[in-house]
Structure 1
Amino acid sequence: MDITVEVPTNTADQPRVFPPGVADGAHPAPGGESAAHLTEAELAGQLIGDARQIRVLTGDRPTGALHLGHYLGSLRNRVRLADAGAELFVLVADYQVITDRDASASIADHAGGLVADYLAIGLDPARSTIFAHSAVPALNQLLLPLMSLISVPELERNPTTKAEAAASGRPALSALMLTYPVHQAADILFCRADLVPVGKDQLPHLEVTRTVARRFNTRYTPVFTEPKALISDAPSVLGSDGHKMSKSHGNTIALQAGADETAAIIKGFKTDTDRHITYDPEHRPEVSNLVLITALCRGEDPRAVAERIGSGGAAALKQAATEAVNEHLRPIRARRAELAGDRGYLSAILRRGAERATGEAEATLARVREAMGMAY
């Protein structure tokens, strides 16, 4: 995706004119989701000269180090959008940690680590609002009116919530886990985001956000944009065990991992018995996953990568992947190591981001209260 524009910073009071099909509030097309999300290629075709009109909400839970799956699936798109002039709100979703965990003792350390990762990959805190969920009370006040717009059975049917509840290992679904999609809706809608970079497994959550926005606009008066998902070229990067790369599965390559550690992890990645390397995600998912990782880190087409390795087999593929990942992440790792030692600087970025996000959340909450006839 190659987007080149010069952009002024958008303010909350400026009217935004969105590129057709990006944030037009369209409902999902019958029989498909084309109106509800965009691929990278589709976005590239629509944003030339218009990125300054786009507002993006993205973020992560501070539960540990960000990894290669995060980077290829979402982080690099955040940098591209910001560099193109889109306005980014980057959420450190600390309150969401306790949806499926009992302890919060290490959240502060992990939050600082997230900020270091964000800056290391190239996000500029002067052009992106990086903030912690818990530091913006008005954002959480939006939960009450939003929760009135969705039913318990609708939340119980959410497949992503079911999967996350099962992965948590808890014997019963907590109320916080059940309402997790509404928390995410508040995160997205408080800043009137147009795009949300997500993996395909998060699409059900985003559809809850779109539903809540649509219902509020219909019941009261139009306040919210129905956001779209931005689907990455690597929506589901597999880890060393052949399952989606995830901190909870322990199958990741951390962005801060060293070169030797990365080589050892990739050496253990699953492949298959066919020595000739091809790119066939449907029939050869593990091999194609390594091909795609290599291609994305090198900026190449995955089929060209597979053709070049050809009969070299799994060993040559893993060697190529190791070299590509280490080379691509080398400057990111060096920058992160510098940032990690300056906790005061990282905390200051979160404080500045919280001030900016609070202003947005309070303005949105005022609009919501006025629409509901509660501005007294």
Structure 2
Amino acid sequence: MTSMTSTAALTSATALAHPPFEADESVTYAAARERSRVLDALIDEHAASDPTRFRMLSGDRPTGPLHIGHFLASLRNRVRLQDKGVETFVLIADYQVITDRDSVGAIGDNVHGLVLDYLAAGLDPARTTIFAHSAVPALNQLMLPFLSLVTDAELRRNPTVKDELTLSDGRPLSGLLLTYPVHQAADILFCHSRIVPVGRDQLPHLEQTRAIARRFNARYAGGQPVFGEPEALLSDVPLLLGTDGTKMSKSRGNVVNLRDSADETAARIRAARTDSERRITYDPNGRPAVANLLTIAGLFLEESPEAVAEGIGDGGASRLKEVVTDAVNGSLAGHRARRAELERDPGYVAGVLRGGNERANAVADRTLATVRAVMGMAY
């Protein structure tokens, strides 16, 4: 794809990818997927020579250990993009732990564990800035002007906020949870991230960030492009189920953690839900639990789930679980070995986070200084 062709395709895809917020969701998603495909091609073409053009931000809440869903859907992709030359920021969203919890829990251990897994997966602190919310005051200060650009109704329409309201069982909605989409916007915009790897369910969050960027430029910057509108880079990894057949989640305990031993992994997978049919087939609608295990094995083996099923044939659930266990343990052996080695040097791990915090602070301070200047608040 030539530069001219890429630019034309990018312009066309951008026009399609961001229709009005009320547009048909399936049409919006199809356009976003096409936009993401074009964006991935542009990264292949230009990232090595122009890293800041595709500056990326992603992150995790330190609420517990990372699991294979994180590895397949985000960690591998972050390393892939870093290695292509994309300037990468990875946020440990420690402030977001208390959006829906009464305490921070074992947050220090969880933060340390996240950094271990990032480094073990291949994130390079020389090329990737790993930092924590609470360590970057200027990032969080951006929340104040950004909050002036959204309405209460917009925030309550956000899918995450709506879901939490539905599940709250009468529990009052905290101000931090209500404003969670604006905090996400500050995360993305403080470093002028150009791309944000997301799943389908995160598209409304990104659209809110784009709206905040547009409104800031129009209201406070006289139309000058202080903030660009970040783009979604959609994951190709489907929504994975946990071992109990429900959504994979740390809080449900239905996951295989990256830090688990080979024996712990085997035990968790042996306990996974399947069905009584002997012949193993890939049928996501009719046999979702079996299809999920086939998908996990396929992602680790870099094969289609149909090919994995064909190889198992009449081996039944027992053979299926053996294949999944071997695929997970085989693929994660190197990760777990590197993690164990890093764990023996806690000073190095802490130093990585300190260095990332310093770099993130430098970026955030510059952004906040610009914001204050264009708002006439640089006293």
Q: TM-score, normalised by structure 1?
A: 0.88
SS of residue in 2 equivalent to 1:212: helix
Instruction: Name the structure 1 match of 2:297.
Output: 294
Give the paired residue count: 360
Q: Which residue of 2 aligns with 1:144?
A: 144
**Cα deviation code 1:112-155 (max 9, x no counterpart):** 11100100011001110001111111001110111111111111
Q: Which moved more, 1:30-39 or 1:132-141?
A: 30-39
**SS of the residue 1:356 aligns to:** helix
Would the alpha carbon gap of residues 343 and 269 (structure 1) be closer, same or farther in structure 2, given more than 3 Å must change? same
Flag the 1:241–1:167 CA change in 2: closer, same or farther, 3 A: farther
Quick one: structure 1 residues 226 and 150, their matched pair in 2 at CA, closer, same or farther if it must change by over 3 Å?
Answer: same
Of 11, 21, 24, the residue aligned with 2:10 is 21
Q: Deviations over 1:334-363 (max 9, x none)?
A: 111121232221111111111111111112
C-alpha distance in structure 2 between counterparts of 1:18 and 1:77, whole Å: 24
Instruction: Answer with 42-51 or 183-192: which moved more.
Output: 42-51
Matched, 1:354 2:357: yes
1:234 to 233, 237, 261: 237
The alignment-based identity, stated in percent, is 58
Aligned to 2:71: 71
C-alpha change, 1:348 and 1:168, in structure 2 (3 Å) is: farther
User: Aligned letter for 2:303?
Assistant: E
Amino acid at match of 2:18: P
Q: Does 1:130 align with 2:130?
A: yes
Q: How does 1:275-354 map to 2 (within 5 A)?
A: 275-354=278-357
Return the alpha-carbon distance in structure 2 between the equivalents of residues 185 and 208 of structure 1.
7
**Structure 2 vs 1, CA of residues 169 and 241 (structure 1 numbering), >3 Å: closer, same or farther?**
farther
Could you report, residue by residue, the CA deviation over 1:310-333 in whole angstroms, capped at 9, with x for unpaired residues? Answer: 232222211111100000001101
**Partner Cα separation in structure 2 for residue 42 and residue 314 of structure 1:** 40
Residue type of the alignment partner of 1:355: E
Offset at residue 182 of structure 1 (A): 0.7
Structure 2's unaligned 5+ residue stretches are 1-5
Q: How does 1:213-252 map to 2 (within 5 A)?
A: 213-219=213-219, 220=221, 221-252=224-255
2:35 counterpart of 1:50: no
Greater shift in the superposed pair: 274-283 or 360-369: 274-283
> How far apart, in 1, do the equivalents of 2:107 and 2:344 lie?
17
Partner Cα distance (1:19, 1:338) in 2 = 47
Structure 1 residue 307 displacement after superposition: 1.9
Alpha-carbon displacement from aligned partner over 1:186-243 (angstroms, at most 9, x marks no partner): 0011111122222323222222212212222333332222222222222421111111
Task: Give the secondary-structure state (helix, strand or coil) at the position aligned to 2:192.
Answer: coil
Offset of residue 33 of structure 1: 3.5
Shift in CA distance, 281/207, structure 1 to aligned 2, threshold 3 Å: farther
Partner secondary structure for residue 33 of structure 1: helix
Moved more, 294-303 or 306-315: 306-315
> Structure 1 residues 184 and 268, CA, compared in 2 at 3 Å: closer, same or farther?
same
1:167 deviates by: 5.2
Which has the larger share of helix? 2
Paired amino acid for 1:262: T
Does the CA-based 8 Å contact 2:58-2:197 persist in structure 1? yes
- 8 Å Cα contact 1:100-1:170 kept in structure 2: no
Structure-2 change in CA distance of 1:372 and 1:40 (3 Å) = closer
Match of 1:257 among 251, 255, 260: 260
Is 261-270 or 275-284 further displaced after alignment? 275-284
Gaps of 5+ in 1: 1-16
